[in-house]
Amino acid sequence: MKARPGWTSLSVFALLLISSLVLAPRAGQKVAAQSPVKPLERPKVRALTAFVHLDRAQVQQQVADALSFLRKLKAECEKAGYEVESTRITTQPFSEYIRGLSPEAALAFFRDYNAFAVKENFDASIGPAMVSDDADPHEAELLGQIIASTTTLESSVTVAGEDGVHWKAVRAAARVMKYLEDHTAHSQGNFKFTAAALVPPGTPFYPASYAGASSHQFAIGLESANVVAEALGSAHHPEGAEKTIVAALEPHAQAIEAVAQRVAKEAGWSYLGIDLSPAPLKEVSIGAAIERFTGSRMGSSGTLTTAALITRELREIHVTRTGYSGLMLPVLEDSVLVQRWSEGAFSADALLAYSSVCGTGLDTVPLPGDVSEEQLARIIADVASLAVKLHKPLSARLLPVAGKKAGDRTEFDDPFLVNATLQPLP
């Protein structure tokens, strides 16, 4: 049978038309080849922290020298593609460089130092009070007044060391917390204070940061909860998660370290290392990372295992480490953690249990204002005892809120804090 005239050309036209309809994207559908590839997550640098052995007679000169170094380091980190959130200057224990001053003169000194820090745009830790258990408890009382009367100075009380729990300091730290609860707006002065146990010098994260015996040293703290979240998102069981965090975070940590070592060599400063703790900040949530991995709410079974896994992976990263270098769970700095706290999904005791396998202890934990000084001391003692038992750095940054009871909502106005519903103490 003969084909009709024009059949071949018509057939070709029809096939082309059908092919174009089949292969063309539907309305609203993008062609895969044209879709942008999502870039891999990058950490931020939360803190570039310089450690200065402050001399009261040379404050401005020493700070100017440190700031010159930090600003160069910040510029080089940003040139390498890493955003820097803060530059910080940390001193030795403050009692060492105000020796001989009356309480009134010491307060005046720190008010001036606070004004200088605000003007020059750096965060300042003035070092701890009561570094030994035989220290004068009046150091802690003065510290509470300093923090309450300034806007940017941060500090701590040392509640445990190589010699064990410092029981006088435990009680003194509780008194400072109650003082700051009653003498700062929204009781948020405790955001700038912590009870620190076995935290070593050279830790870049505040408020437990302090300088050792030498000046011209520095360390770096990362904000990398987003990188950890992305790494855990590719696996949903512990075996599959092995090495994923290392693979995701190590190249960035090593790149930042290379910048730090180069700038340190040029400037004559000593590099102490990186605190790899994956610090969160509000929507950059470590709580979300844990929930994505476990498939259940923070506080459910499997949370402790995930905390241990993250910390174990961080310690496999080949850089010079300092500070905590473990999982951080700062309740009020993380949008998912604060939501789960408000729902009662986990408690302070649960956080302390997680601290046995991870990082910082009890960090930014909101408490009802009617918590007593004795209750605070018992909580702090639990943290100190665990730190001594496990020989690891832990701290207790507790925020009791004056006039608020369980079920009430906090009213913090600090840009780093998320408000929470207060939970009853056991």
Q: What contacts 281, CB < 8 A, 6 or more positions away?
A: 46, 223, 225, 333, 334, 416
d(CA 290, CA 254): 25
Taken in order of first residue, the domains within the chain and their CATH numbers are: 40-426 (3.20.70.20)
Strand ranges in 216-360 using DSSP code E only, listed in sequence order: 217-223, 270-275
Tokens 């402050």 sit on residue: 54
Do residues 193 and 177 touch, judged by C-beta distance below 8 A? yes
**CB 182: neighbour CB atoms within 10 A?**
15
Task: Give the model's pLDDT for residue 7.
Answer: 37
Q: Please, which residues bridge with residue 49 across strands?
A: 88, 219
d(CA 159, CA 393): 11
Nearest to 65 by CA among 274, 268, 271: 268
Do residues 170 and 159 touch, judged by C-beta distance below 8 A? yes
Do residues 270 and 311 touch, judged by C-beta distance below 8 A? no
Do residues 403 and 369 touch, judged by C-beta distance below 8 A? yes
Task: Give the model's pLDDT for residue 21.
Answer: 35
Strand ranges in 110-255 using DSSP code E only, listed in sequence order: 123-125, 153-161, 164-165, 193-197, 217-223
> Which helix or strand (DSSP H or E) is residue 398 part of?
strand 394-401
Provide the residue type at 115 as one letter.
A
Q: What contacts 382, CB < 8 A, 6 or more positions away?
A: 352
Do residues 180 and 144 touch, judged by C-beta distance below 8 A? yes
Task: Give the model's pLDDT for residue 22.
Answer: 35
Nearest to 122 by CA among 76, 78, 63: 63
Tokens 């953690």 sit on residue: 337
d(CA 335, CA 338): 5
**CB 370: neighbour CB atoms within 10 A?**
14
- SS3 for 154? strand
d(CA 411, CA 421): 10
Task: Give the model's pLDDT for residue 238.
Answer: 78
* Nearest-10 Cα torsion for 110, 116, 122, 124: -10
Q: What contacts 62, CB < 8 A, 6 or more positions away?
A: 52, 54, 55, 215
Residues with pLDDT less than 50, the chain: 1-37
d(CA 420, CA 187): 14
Task: Give the model's pLDDT for residue 3.
Answer: 39
